[in-house]
Structure 1
Amino acid sequence: MPTPIPEMNSTKWKGLVIGEGQIFPNAVALRQALYRYMGAYSMGQRQDSELLIIRTLRSEHVHYAQDSLVVSHSRGSNLTSSIMIDSLRCNIDKNANEIRRDLYREYGVRLNYSQAYKGRERALREIHGRAQDSYMAIPWICERLIETDPNTSARWEGLDSNRFQRVFIAYGCSINGFLEGCRHILYIDGCHLSGPYKGTLISANAYDADNELFPLAYAIVSGETYDDWAWFLQNVKDITRSVETTIVSYQNNAIIGAVRTIFGGKRHAFCYRHVKENFSAHYLKINRGRGRVSGTSKDVALKMLDGIAYARIEDEYVAAMGKLRSFCPQLADWVDTQGDVDRWALSKFPFKQWDDITTNVAESFNAWILKERKHNVSVLIHEHMEKLAKKMVANKMAMENWTNGVGPNIESKL
């Protein structure tokens, strides 16, 4: 006996066209049903018509679904697009290779990577609508957010060729939470959007009372330029009112200039992790041409830099610098002259940082909204609002189990 061939998912479409008198709501629904019906059988002719009622049906077919669906993409592109739309509605994060594999396994349709990628892009546009429609909805969305919660700050600026220039969102719960319950340090960073609008999302985040991510505000802009950062930080300053706020960022000239303009330069700290990367690059530079550099020696140098960064008082700082100078004078000179040590070393920076001298929490925000960054702007705003609300509720429920007024994550460090 021959090995039986497993039934494919396409067989479920055999019942889409059932007989004379069947009515479809519109032409699009009729075409989609016919595409799928043809996919379930090897034969079936479709003629474009404005009539939506079936008058004659011949259901005799001589081939199996497996035979009919192993076809080239050009012959079944409409059917393939329809399948992709359904698949992405269930899992918007599917990549082109996953789509290729699923279409072949479940429907017998063979696509190359380029066909799958382009089909995915078309399907996403069908699901989310045109990018221009998303841009034009921004003013309405901002107005509705403010109507729902007057404490929310939702601002937009400019429309150019159906593309907004900037939009800024800070929900009322985030503003009040930052002012009343967070340490007044903001960690700012940016990340690229991968949806229909190829802009940049920049954000300002803090640590909550349990030392976890507390999103304050975000904006969608064209890029990380001085003008974009200055506009964003001015909005942040408006919602934080007269509170003295420290800004922590990586060493970017646009950010440095914008922070100096809006907040003044004194309360601007640099991310220590980026300083450490620059220090490591300088270590390799000064050891170039000396043969193979010992990984152990590099680790020793980085630990010495940690001692400099986390020294709490001047005497500890001087002792840590002395160790580094004895180990490598060139590295010590770099810290003194090129490292902007007063922007990241705890003992040198004149304002409180509570050991949080990196932008890790801002990068955690970027990872937290990874899925939303793939959508158009309207969907991104809606899904972020829903995700933030769920986070706030979960935090409130967890706080009810605290044994005292100090969060568990902070208490474990004490």
Structure 2
Amino acid sequence: MAGNNGVGDRPDWLPDGMDPNSSYNLEIRIVAHNCRTRWYELSKVVDADRTNFRSLVAEVVDKNPHGYGDLVKVFYYCMDTKVNIQVCTDQDLLEMFEKHKVSKCCFLTFAYHKPSVDPPIIPVWEFGSSDKSVDPPVTPSIASPILGEASNSTHAQYDEPEILANPNPIYEHVGVDDEGLYLDLGPNYPPPPPNPKAGNKGREAEISEDEICSESDESSDDESDEEMVTDRGPEPMPDVNYDKKNPPMDVGTLYSNMKAFKIALASHSAKHEYHYLVEKSDPGRYRMHCKFKEELDCQWRIHASTLKDGVTVKVKRNPHPHDCQSAKRVGVCVGITQEWVCSKVVDWLKEDGNIQIKELIRRLKNEYKVNVPYRRVYKGKNLAMDQIYGPWDKSFDNLFRFKAQIEESSPGSFVIIDHHTINNKIRFNRLFFALKACVDGFLRGCRPYLAVDSTFLNGRFRGQLCVACAVDGHNWMYPVAVGVIDSETNENWVWFMERLKEVIGSPDGLTFCTDCGQAVMNGVSEVFPEAEHRECMYHLVQNFKKRFSGKVFDDHLWAASYSWSPYLFNKHYIAMAQAKPEAMVYLHENHKKLWTRSQYRTGSKVDYVTNNLAESFNNWIKPEKGKNIDDLLDTIR
């Protein structure tokens, strides 16, 4: 246990620069049913003014991962009552700090356990024992799946044809809940105002450092040492603000670290069309000269190195201007690395995460006059996406935490993660997600109609996002369940439909509408054989017009689909059959599901002849499809 044996009233566990009034030492034990010892111990120093419950748990769990699907509960030992009290909110955390305001030392226990079993027994804290702590284990996290190959598109984009156009598109209108009545993405709270107290502390730290430096020459060694131990804060970072598009390379220019300097140098050279060669490069210095030093006698060179802090980089020599011919650079630059690409495209990707690689290459060419290889831009984009959304491979690990949080916050919800083992490593396979509130709303307040479709994910995981979407009393789309699969295969669609049946059962009058994809149609027919199965008229027409065309089909095909009575349907059908009998043979053989209103049952009370309901969901989620899977599911939630 850490004690208070520091200099004066300052405890020895308190790092320099932290406020002793608001800092607390946390002695933490981690217990679990499968622990090889009674517990694992670690220590952590936090600032009570800047620590919240969620971030504290995240930091501890990130360094000491739990098992798949485990829950995490936190307790602190109350010195007055001699019992362990559970911590669930920020208010509980503040109460814990208040109770230990004098000792500045709190004793926490993190309990890992499965949702189906009770937490492990919390051991009693015995002070003064000789038990030695055990270093926390480094447990491997879930292995991330390999980068999947892109699937062939089943939803090709077509311009609205002049022939066989839908004469009544307003009949297929689907309202999207723009008011967030059902798809509440959460309020956008304004950012918190700056903490004046924290700002004053920072300024006091800077002032105290200057005072210490000036007084240390006049005061005795003992007094100087005491001041440095008790009052000195961390050294302030130098001001390294500069124009990122045209960084200066004047002598005395500061950069935050060597990586930032290399990126700035590459931007500077690209902007002014220099081509340089690196003469010396190590963690503490960087020296380069013009590539045409021998050919054109160009004396331009730059030398930069780190300051005493070992991090900040300063340009120390740049004696000659660069005046040689720049045309020989021919659109290349030695400093254009994937890190440089990341720094330039990250702002573009924050605005639109779906920008394609070729578009990024074009923008870099227009902005910096450099030809960046496709592979390098691809890697730079991945680095930028990791900066924005977090590491891609860890997003699959987070799915189990997402599942545990959903099941705890919304009991009865379904988050089913299917995985397989490859070379003794767990790999993500597919996922099914349905909130209990959405399922109950569909069964109790919506018509028994589901539009089923999938859309491509355009992030690093090239899978497909499946959706089963209903329509509510306002004629707005009402998502019931979503899934993530690697491709549209019979096996994946049967698995998705089986999970959907476990969730909603088989309500009376249940009706499905799908496109013409064989995999999704087989999945619906195999799992829901008793349900009415409709086929999207738009997809039928797109396939039909590749083989047949003519005015007779323009006049009668869509009209046959919208016909309410068998008499009108037969009238339009016979007109097409007399003009081209082989066209009707094609419809009979290849489009056997229902595609005309005259054959619909009345139980669903929905007369859509297209699958616009699911397509509306696909269009709504389109800006988010480049996110990692955990962020995508959280957005849908």
Instruction: Confirm or deny that 1:142 pairs with 2:403.
Output: yes
How far does the alpha carbon of each residue in 1:11-60 deviate from its partner, in whole angstroms, 9 at most, with x for none? 456699866xx9x6xxxxx2332224434766997531496355976265
Of 81, 84, 88, which aligns to 2:349?
Answer: 88
Change (3 A) 1:333 1:92: closer
How far does the alpha carbon of each residue in 1:135-192 deviate from its partner, in whole angstroms, 9 at most, with x for none? 2221211121222222532221124344311111123443233233322111111222
Q: State the partner residue of 2:610.
A: 358
Change (3 A) 1:340 1:197: closer
Of 473, 492, 496, which aligns to 1:209?
Answer: 473
Residues 73, 111 of structure 1: 8 Å contact kept: no
Corresponding residue SS for 1:10: coil
Query: Which one has the largest radius of gyration?
Result: 2
Residues 8, 106 of structure 1: 8 Å contact kept: no
Q: State the partner residue of 2:282.
A: 47
Deviation, structure 1 residue 276: 2.4
Q: TM-score, normalised by structure 1?
A: 0.72
Instruction: Confirm or deny that 1:75 pairs with 2:335.
Output: yes
Q: State the partner residue of 2:201.
A: none
How far does the alpha carbon of each residue in 1:338-357 deviate from its partner, in whole angstroms, 9 at most, with x for none? 26566222222335463202
Q: State the partner residue of 1:231.
A: 495
Q: State the partner residue of 2:135.
A: none
Q: State the partner residue of 1:369.
A: 621
How far does the alpha carbon of each residue in 1:116-148 deviate from its partner, in whole angstroms, 9 at most, with x for none? 344324433454454432222212111212222
Identity across aligned pairs (percent)? Answer: 23
RMSD: 3.7
Change (3 A) 1:345 1:147: same
Output the CA distance in 2 between the equivalents of 1:175 and 1:322.
43
Deviation, structure 1 residue 238: 2.5
Corresponding residue SS for 2:545: helix
Deviation, structure 1 residue 282: 4.2
Residues 411, 436 of structure 2: 8 Å contact kept: yes
Change (3 A) 1:270 1:14: same
- What is the one-letter code of the residue matched to 1:280? K
Change (3 A) 1:63 1:241: farther
Residues 17, 34 of structure 1: 8 Å contact kept: no
Q: State the partner residue of 2:174.
A: none
Change (3 A) 1:321 1:79: closer
Deviation, structure 1 residue 255: 2.5
Residue correspondences, number: 357
Q: State the partner residue of 2:564.
A: 312
Change (3 A) 1:143 1:326: same
Q: In the TM superposition, what are the counterparts of 1:306-345 in structure 2 within 5 Å?
A: 306-335=558-587, 337-338=588-589, 340=591, 343-345=594-596
Change (3 A) 1:329 1:96: closer
Change (3 A) 1:317 1:339: farther
Q: TM-score, normalised by structure 2?
A: 0.49
Deviation, structure 1 residue 207: 2.3
Q: State the partner residue of 2:31.
A: none
- What is the one-letter code of the residue matched to 1:309? S
Deviation, structure 1 residue 218: 1.0
Corresponding residue SS for 1:79: helix
Residues 200, 224 of structure 1: 8 Å contact kept: yes
Corresponding residue SS for 2:454: strand
Output the CA distance in 2 between the equivalents of 1:225 and 1:56.
58
Residues 490, 523 of structure 2: 8 Å contact kept: yes
Residues 188, 202 of structure 1: 8 Å contact kept: yes
Residues 336, 372 of structure 2: 8 Å contact kept: no
Deviation, structure 1 residue 81: 3.4
Q: State the partner residue of 1:280.
A: 545
Output the CA distance in 1 between the equivalents of 2:542 and 2:506.
35
How far does the alpha carbon of each residue in 1:72-129 deviate from its partner, in whole angstroms, 9 at most, with x for none? 3433314343333354345423333443454355555443555434432443345445
Q: State the partner residue of 2:265.
A: 38
Residues 9, 107 of structure 1: 8 Å contact kept: no
Tell which deviates more after alignment, 199-208 or 128-137: 128-137
Instruction: Confirm or deny that 1:301 pairs with 2:553.
Output: yes
- What is the one-letter code of the residue matched to 2:525? R
Q: State the partner residue of 1:347.
A: 598
Q: State the partner residue of 1:270.
A: 535
- What is the one-letter code of the residue matched to 2:335? R
Corresponding residue SS for 2:625: helix
Q: In the TM superposition, what are the counterparts of 1:160-175 in structure 2 within 5 Å?
A: 160=421, 161-175=425-439
Q: State the partner residue of 2:633.
A: 381
How far does the alpha carbon of each residue in 1:296-346 deviate from its partner, in whole angstroms, 9 at most, with x for none? xx24314312232222222223333333333333334444x4265662222
How far does the alpha carbon of each residue in 1:182-212 deviate from its partner, in whole angstroms, 9 at most, with x for none? 2211111122222121222111112233333
Output the CA distance in 2 between the equivalents of 1:39 and 1:276.
53
Q: State the partner residue of 1:133.
A: 394
Of 256, 266, 269, which aligns to 2:521?
Answer: 256
Q: State the partner residue of 2:126.
A: none
Quick check: which one's strand share is greater? Answer: 2
Tell which deviates more after alignment, 200-209 or 253-262: 253-262
Change (3 A) 1:181 1:257: same
Corresponding residue SS for 1:356: coil
Change (3 A) 1:16 1:182: farther
Output the CA distance in 2 between the equivalents of 1:230 and 1:213.
24
Quick check: which one's helix share is greater? Answer: 1
Q: State the partner residue of 2:190.
A: none
Corresponding residue SS for 1:355: coil
Residues 229, 255 of structure 1: 8 Å contact kept: yes
Tell which deviates more after alignment, 146-155 or 82-91: 82-91
Change (3 A) 1:112 1:133: closer
Change (3 A) 1:334 1:305: same
- What is the one-letter code of the residue matched to 1:167? L
Residues 512, 531 of structure 2: 8 Å contact kept: no
Output the CA distance in 2 between the equivalents of 1:363 and 1:185.
15
Deviation, structure 1 residue 9: 4.2
Tell which deviates more after alignment, 310-319 or 48-57: 48-57
Residue segments in structure 2 that go unaligned for 5+ positions in a row: 1-241, 270-275, 285-305
Corresponding residue SS for 2:245: helix
Output the CA distance in 1 between the equivalents of 2:599 and 2:396.
45
Corresponding residue SS for 1:164: strand
Corresponding residue SS for 1:189: strand
